[in-house]
Amino acid sequence: MGKEKRIQRRTEASIPMEIQGTDVEGEEFQESVTALEVSRRGASFLTPRDLAVLTELTVVIPGRGPTRSKEGPTDFFSSAAVVRVMPEGEMKRVSVRFIGSTLMTFVSEGT
C-alpha cells in the first residue's frame, strides 16, 4: 500500500451519525452508525453494507451543525462520496468525503 495523501488531520471519535444511500445491490437504506474518525471534510465508520467507491450518501451528525441563537446547535447535514472501503472483520470500514460542507472540529488542525 502506498502512503495516504490526506489533506485534513483526522481525529479519533465516537460520534453517532445517520447515513442514507443505495448499496451495491441497488437497495436503498438508512442506517445509524458511529463515526470512528472525523475531519473537517470527511469521516469513517463501520457498516455491514457493501458500498462502492464514489457512491453518494447523505450524512447527518446530530448537534454538530452551526449554532443558532436561542436554538443551540443544529444538525450537520451533508452529501458525501465514498472514497475508501476496507474490510475490517465482518464489517467494512468506509471513509467518506463531505461534498460542499465542512464539519466544525474542536481540535487544532494546524500543521
Query: Which domains are delineated in the chain?
Result: 11-99 (2.30.110.10)
Burial of 81 (0-12, 13-18, 19+ CB in 10 A): middle
Nine-digit cell string for 55: 457512491
User: What pTM, to 2 d.p., does this model score?
Assistant: 0.79
Q: Is 96 helix (H, G, I), strand (E, B) or coil?
A: strand
Alpha-carbon span 50 to 37, nearest angstrom: 20
Residue 26 backbone zone (phi > 0: left; psi -120 to 50: alpha; other: beta): left
**How high is the pLDDT of residue 71?**
77
**How high is the pLDDT of residue 4?**
52
Answer for the pair 15, 38: CB distance below 8 angstroms, yes or no.
Answer: yes
Following CA atoms 96, 100, 104, 109 in sequence, which dihedral angle do they give, to the nearest 10 degrees? 70
Interval 36-95: pLDDT, tens: 998 889 999 999 999 999 999 999 998 877 677 887 788 889 999 999 999 999 999 999
Nine-digit cell string for 41: 471534510
